[in-house]
Amino acid sequence: MQLTRISHRLTVEARDEKCGPRALLKTITPAKTLLLLACCLWACSPSYPPAPETTEQEVVETLHGVEFRDPFRWLEDQNNEQTRSWIDRQNAYAELIIGQSPLRDAVHQRLKELMDLDDAGSPQRAGDFEYFSLRRRGQQLPVLYRRPKPPGEARVRIDPAEEYETVIDPHLLSEDLSIRVAIRALSEDGKWMVYSRRTGGQDEVELRVRDLTANRDLEEQYENGLYDQVSFGHDSKGFYYVLRSRETGPRLSYHILGTPVTEDQDQFGNGIASTSFMRARLAGKDGRRIFSVSHGWARNEIFLQETPGGLVRDMTQGLTAHFEARYHEGRLLVRTDFKAPNYRVVEMDPKNPGPEHWRELLPEHSDVLQSYALIEDRVYATYLHDVSSKIRVFDLDGTVAGEIPVPDFHSASIEAFGKGKALLSLSSLTRPEIKYLLDLKSGQREIWKESKVAFSEKDYEVKQVRYASKDGTQVPMYIVHRKGIELDGKHPTLLYGYGGFNASQTPRFRPSTAVWLENGGVYAMANLRGGSEFGEPWHCGGMLENKQNVFDDFIAAAEWLIGQGYTNPKRLAITGTSNGGLLVAAALTQRPELFRAVLCGFPDLDMVRFHSFTKTNNMPALLEYGDASDPEQFQFLRLYSPYQNVRQGVSYPAVMLTSGDLDTRVSPLQARKMTAALQTATASGLPVILRYDATAGHAAERGLPRGKMMENTAGELAFLLSQLGAGGP
C-alpha cells in the first residue's frame, strides 16, 4: 500500500505510548525517523510528533479583559533546542505523509519541463556595457553577466546559447546555494555597481559596491538591512539608498565612494513612522527627486526636491489618497484616486500643488486605471476591465487616440522600445507570458520573447463568473478546466484567493496550475475584496474591521462551485500564501466541513499577538490588519484570528502548512503554533503536516534554488492530488 494512501487512514486517537512513532520519535534521530515510521505504519497508525514533556505547554494571559490560553507559546522560540527537534520531526512526518510515489515523481518531472527554462532579465546600460541576469536551463540561480553595449538605441535579445562575460556567479558564494545576487544600481560612467546579496528568503539584504573595471568589491559593505531604491548621482561619485529600520522608520541616505559607511548622511525621512515605507527616485538630469511615503496600503504622500540637497516640499499635504508621480518633459504628472476611486491622471503645478490648481489629463473611467506609459507623445493607459486588461491610447492633451487590442481574460503591459516601437506583454491563466515588438504606427506585431512551455491551452476553457457573497456583494471569479467536462459535482477543484494589501489578482500563467489542470483538476481564482480590482472601495471593503468580508467572499466562492456542480466538499481544496495563508486558515477554521484539503503557505495566523512580533517583522501590516493592542481593533481581530479559533474535536481538513526560519516578513512562529494546534485538535483522521525549510522565506522565490523550488511544489501538488483522490489526465 502506498504511503500516500495510508495517510487517508491516519487517526489522532492512536496515541498509545507503547506502540507507534509517538514513543519512537522521542529517542530516534531525524535521519532514522522515516524508516522507523514507515515500518510502524504496518502495525498501527502513526500519531503526530509529540511536544517534549519537559516543555511548559500552556501560557494563560488576559488582553482587554479576555482570557487566552496558548499551549504552544514555547514554539515561538525559534532557536530553542526543543523547537528545533520538533521541527525536524515535523519535516520527517510530512515527508512520510506525502510519500515518494509515482504520482509525485510524475508531477516533479512535469514541473521540471515547465519551470526549468532559460530566464533572462532586462539589460541595464552603463558605460560601454549592458548588464543583466541570466539563469540558463539546468542552472539553480541567476548569474550576473555583461556584454558590449549595442550601437545607438538598438535593443538586442539575450541569447542563452551565447557566452557572456561573468560579473558575479552566486553558485560560488555558498555550498547550499542559499545566496543570490541582484543589481541595485549602476553608475552612468559604467565604473561602479551596487549589488545585493540575499541569504535565503529573508527580506533583508547586504549591499556591496563593485569596481567594474577591476571586477572586485570595494571595502565599504553594508550589513543585512531593508535596503531599497539605490541610485547613483549623475556625477558617479556616490549613491543614494533608502534603508527602512523597523525601529526608526525609513531614511534616504547618501554615500560618497571611498568613505566609511558610518559617515553616510541622512537626506530625508526624519520623523516618518516605522509603520511606513518610502520610495525615492531621481526625476531628471537636473537632480530633482520624488519621494513617496506610504502609510500602509490605503494612502501615501508625495514630496518633491527640485535641487540636490534643496528644500523638500509636500505636494499632497492634507490629502488622503494614493499618488504616483513622475516628470515628463518638465511636466509633473500624477496618477491618483483623490476624488476618483478608479484613478485619473492630473498635471500638478510644483509651485501650487493644491487640487484647485490641477489640470486633468486622463479623467476617471468606469474601469480602474492600473498604469500608464508615455511613448512618443502619447499616453498608453492600461485599465482593468472586469479583472482583464485593456490598453487605451490618448494624446497628451487627453484626446482619445485609439486602443491596443488585448484578448479577453489576459493581463497586459506596454513599454517604450525604441523609435516607433513598443514592447507589449501578454499572459493568461493558460498562456505563458509572450512579448511582442509592436509597431506603433501600423499595429503590426512580431514575437520578441516567448516562453517555450509545452502546454496545450486549446484543450482548456477559461470563463469568468460572478457570485453573491454573504452580504450580497457580487464577486468575480475565474474558472479553468478541460473543455467539455460534465458538471456532476465530482471534479477535484483547487480554489485560490488572496484578498488584501490593495493587490489585484489578474490572469497569469503558473506552472503549478498547468499541472493541476493536466491531472484532471478544475482551477478557480476568486477576486476577493481587499484587492485593487475595483479601486480603493474594493480594497477598503476587505481591510481592518472589514476583513471578515474577504473570508465571506472566499467561502461563498466555495459554496458556489459546489452548488453549480463543479465539485463537492470531499473533492475541494483551497490554497493561499502569506495574506492568502491567513485567508485559507480563516476559511478552514470557520467552515471546516467545506474543504477536503488546505495548502497554507508562509501564513499570518496569530492575529491577537501579531502586534507583539511585528516589531521584528512587518510593522506596516498593522495598518492593513489592525493592532490588537488597540481595544477596538482587538474585537474584530480575535473573532477571526485562526490560531485562537482552533477548536478541540472538530473534523478539520487535511492541511499542509509551509514556512521557514528566514521569513522575516511573516513570523514563521505562526505556522509552527498553528500546526501544533490543529494536530492536537482535529478529529477527522486526516493529516496536518508542516514542511519547514531553514533557509526559506518570503523574498526571492522563497530564497530557494530552482531545483528545490520544483521539489517543494511537486510535494505540495502531490499532497493535494492524493487527498482529493486525483491524478492522471
Q: Which residues are designated catalytic? A: 578, 698
| CA–CA distance, 133 with 85 (Å, rounded to integer) | 39
CA distance 17 to 35: 19
Q: Which residues of 218-251 are buried (b: 16+ CB within 10 A; e: fewer)?
A: eebebeebbbbbbbbbeebebbbbbbbebeebbb
Q: How far apart are CA 261 and CA 227, in angstroms?
A: 14
In angstroms, the CA 646 to CA 642 distance is: 6
Tell me the HSE value of 366 on the side-chain side, using a 13 A CA sphere.
Answer: 2
The three cell numbers of residue 5 are 494512501
For 599-645, give the DSSP string: EEES-----SSHHHHGGGS-GGGHHHH--TTSHHHHHHHHHH-TGGG
Give me the residue label for grid cell 521539489: 711
Angle between helices 706-723 and 511-518 (to 10 degrees): 30
| Cell matching residue 697 | 522565506
The answer to whether 193 and 174 have CB atoms below 8 angstroms apart is no
Lookup: cell for 434: 509572450
403-435 burial, b at 16+ Cβ within 10 Å, e below that, comes to ebebeebbbbbbeebeeebbbbbbbbbbbbbbb
In angstroms, the CA 254 to CA 358 distance is: 33
Cα 139 off chain centre by:
23
CB 350 within 8 A of CB 304: yes
DSSP state of 307: S
Nine cell digits for residue 75: 514554539
How far is the C-alpha of 226 from the C-alpha of 245, rounded, in Å? 7
Angle (nearest 5°) at CA 179 between 178 and 180:
120
Residue 494, Cβ neighbours under 10 Å: how many? 26
Instruction: Report whether 574 contacts 595 (CB < 8 A).
Output: yes
Residue 673 to residue 728: CA distance in whole angstroms: 35
Burial code of 141-155, b = ≥16 C-beta within 10 A, e = fewer? bbbbbbbebeeeeee
| CB-based contacts of 450, cutoff 8 Å, min separation 6 | 432, 434, 435
CA angle 536, 542, 545 (to 5 degrees): 115
Establish how many alpha carbons lie within 13 A of residue 7's alpha carbon, considering only the half-sphere containing its beta carbon. Answer: 29
CA distance 415 to 423: 5
DSSP-derived secondary structure letter, 714: H
Q: Which phi and psi (to 5°) does residue 721 adopt? A: -65, -40
Q: Are strands 474-482 and 522-526 parallel, antiparallel or unpaired?
A: antiparallel
Cell numbers 463568473 correspond to 465
Identify which of 574, 575, 502 has the alpha carbon closest to the alpha carbon of residue 542: 502
Contacts by residues 221-226 (CB-CB < 8 Å, ≥ 24 positions apart): 221/261, 222/261, 224/199
